Chains A and B, each alone.
Chain A
């Protein structure tokens, strides 16, 4: 097997006295789509945010494409990386948020162009050409000069996906990308994600959309109480769960 795109080894994380992650072990192969499901408060969003170091882990190790995230190993110790080194690592990891977090003072096109121009130092012309293509790809070619406030939730989330893709990431993280959407707008976002998966993007998706997990996911991890209770093929985890906790959760959401 090729080197995993994401590898978590005994990842621990606490907020003050509250233990949120108690030893997460997970692997995501390149071109694989991993869906993380579980009740709220189970630590799945926190785990996702650890992958691009938006949250610092307290113990354990997290690798993206073979590279340790947020730390460097020297002389038997883990040294926390400086801000620039972390920023460098994040360039290759796209993230899509539950509340979109588009930049409200920029048009859709400017949102997508911003990071390539300012972070990757691409010329405006190159960045613009690519941004136009990406907006077209998510079906928003005609909305490129609109501000986020003029777009529907589904459209905003699609711009957010295009914005993340503009950095040419090798891994995409989705933090409940459809949870803030009106029900009729969920489909358009899932469609974009589905075609992204079909193109071979490696994705970690925290979601409540069991249908999507079953259909698009190559693997599903069920988290509860800061641990991965069980993981495997969606058919096994979602249809024939081995653990009572998984079965109990599924009976509530399905």
Chain B
């Protein structure tokens, strides 16, 4: 035991950081596994990386990728706009509106999106002609359902309307997360409920709404692959069409997967910036309003950056 008289002055005494041997062991294990993975990628010729990259930027794959992105964007837009409307309806004091919203969510969340896509695809079997007119009265004009509901339209309807049910619950959670006093303060200033929602409540709700919405967008990117059942050549179906002709199944599945991974990465980066935008006024130290995102935190944790 050290004697008190031996110790140097307290302020010059160095502190020794705790040793963490477990981390070194874990790092070694991860390194070995990673090496094995890289090894099999490089040495297993059946991956056929040359074929993967031959097709990676081929016209047919790129056209499919374009359709996948188009489907994702349009369906998410429908989902977000309709979902917000449904959330506001569900939270309104009007029992009819809130009941309708509840029923919509119940129906569209309660059946598989795959089945919904098929329904929209086969809508002409149910309604061969769609018409515009007075309910129970005269018709002004009518269309063939097959002509109006193309595979693309069916895909948009199936994905968008289903997404709206999920987005409605996400938006509702966001709106409920905002303190009641915010709406009251806005109303006390003479704002109508609509204005208070738009200017005061929703911008704050966005902090809660954006992360799961990013999640939904990434989910949607991959869910679009279900549209293959409507014979709409999005990314995965394009790849399938190619390998059904040349039998290069594995390389083409890898080609498609790499694209999905790439777009997901882009979406994640986009989410980071959107989140940062809506963090305005929240979580901050003086002088840096809301500018402490995950990347900063990660950067601060990197070795060598410790003070």
Task: Tell whether, in the assembled complex, residue A104 and residue B188 are in contact, meaning their CB atoms are under 8 Å apart.
Answer: no
Given A97-B181, A99-B181, A103-B185, A150:B190 Cβ within 8 A: no
A171 to chain B, nearest CB (A): 12
A147 within 8 Å of B (CB atoms): yes
Task: Tell whether, in the assembled complex, residue A88 and residue B190 are in contact, meaning their CB atoms are under 8 Å apart.
Answer: yes
Task: Tell whether, in the assembled complex, residue B190 and residue A105 are in contact, meaning their CB atoms are under 8 Å apart.
Answer: no
Docked complex Cα distance between A149 and B306 (Å): 27
Given A105-B203, A147-B289, A54:B189 Cβ within 8 A: no
Docked complex Cα distance between A163 and B187 (Å): 13
**Residues of chain B with a CB closer than 8 A to A84's CB:** 192
**Residues of chain B with a CB closer than 8 A to A97's CB:** 181, 184-185, 188
Docked complex Cα distance between A205 and B260 (Å): 61
Task: Tell whether, in the assembled complex, residue A104 and residue B282 are in contact, meaning their CB atoms are under 8 Å apart.
Answer: yes
B1 within 8 Å of A (CB atoms): no
B153 to chain A, nearest CB (A): 38
Task: Tell whether, in the assembled complex, residue A148 and residue B195 are in contact, meaning their CB atoms are under 8 Å apart.
Answer: no
Task: Tell whether, in the assembled complex, residue B284 and residue A150 are in contact, meaning their CB atoms are under 8 Å apart.
Answer: yes
B199 within 8 Å of A (CB atoms): yes
Given A54-B184, A54-B187, A150-B289, A105:B192 Cβ within 8 A: no
For B183-212 the 0/1 string (1 means CB < 8 A from A) is 011111111110100011001100000000
Given A97-B181, A114-B199, A90:B188 Cβ within 8 A: yes
**Residues of chain A with a CB closer than 8 A to B181's CB:** 97, 99, 101
Task: Tell whether, in the assembled complex, residue B280 and residue A119 are in contact, meaning their CB atoms are under 8 Å apart.
Answer: no
Contact of B190 among A87, A102, A107 (CB under 8 A): A87
Interface size grouping (class) on chain B: 20 to 34
**Residues of chain A with a CB closer than 8 A to B282's CB:** 104-105, 149
- Which of chain B's residues has its CB closest to A117's CB? B199
A92 to chain B, nearest CB (A): 8
A115 within 8 Å of B (CB atoms): yes
Given A97-B181, A103-B200, A114-B199, A52:B284 Cβ within 8 A: no
Task: Tell whether, in the assembled complex, residue B189 and residue A105 are in contact, meaning their CB atoms are under 8 Å apart.
Answer: no
For A141-182 the 0/1 string (1 means CB < 8 A from B) is 000000111100000000010011001000000000000000
Task: Tell whether, in the assembled complex, residue A115 and residue B190 are in contact, meaning their CB atoms are under 8 Å apart.
Answer: yes
B286 within 8 Å of A (CB atoms): yes
For A113-131 the 0/1 string (1 means CB < 8 A from B) is 0110011100000000000
**Residues of chain B with a CB closer than 8 A to A101's CB:** 179, 181-182, 184-185
A91 within 8 Å of B (CB atoms): yes
A156 to chain B, nearest CB (A): 12
B281 within 8 Å of A (CB atoms): yes
Docked complex Cα distance between A118 and B182 (Å): 16
- Which of chain B's residues has its CB closest to A116's CB? B189
Task: Tell whether, in the assembled complex, residue B199 and residue A167 are in contact, meaning their CB atoms are under 8 Å apart.
Answer: no
Task: Tell whether, in the assembled complex, residue B190 and residue A90 are in contact, meaning their CB atoms are under 8 Å apart.
Answer: yes
- Which of chain A's residues has its CB closest to B285's CB? A150
Looking at B189, B191, B289, the one whose CB has the most chain A CB atoms below 10 A away is: B189
**Residues of chain A with a CB closer than 8 A to B187's CB:** 54, 87, 90
- Which of chain B's residues has its CB closest to A95's CB? B188
- Which of chain B's residues has its CB closest to A160's CB? B185
**Residues of chain A with a CB closer than 8 A to B185's CB:** 95, 97, 101-103, 160
Which residues on B are within 8 Å of A, measured CB to CB?
179, 181-182, 184-193, 195, 199-200, 203-204, 278, 280-284, 286, 289
Q: List 26 interface pairs A-B (beta carbons < 8 Å), by A numbering.
A: A54-B184, A54-B188, A83-B192, A83-B193, A87-B190, A87-B191, A90-B187, A90-B190, A97-B188, A101-B179, A101-B181, A103-B182, A103-B185, A103-B204, A104-B282, A105-B282, A106-B281, A119-B189, A147-B280, A149-B281, A149-B284, A150-B284, A150-B289, A160-B185, A167-B189, A167-B190
Q: Name the 4 nearest CB pairs between A and B, nearest first.
A: A91-B190, A101-B185, A115-B189, A147-B281
Beyond the given pairs A54-B188, A103-B200, A115-B190, 15 more chain A to chain B contacts, judged by CB atoms under 8 angstroms and listed by A's residue number, are: A54-B184, A87-B187, A90-B188, A94-B188, A97-B181, A97-B188, A101-B182, A105-B203, A118-B191, A147-B280, A147-B281, A148-B281, A149-B283, A149-B284, A164-B189
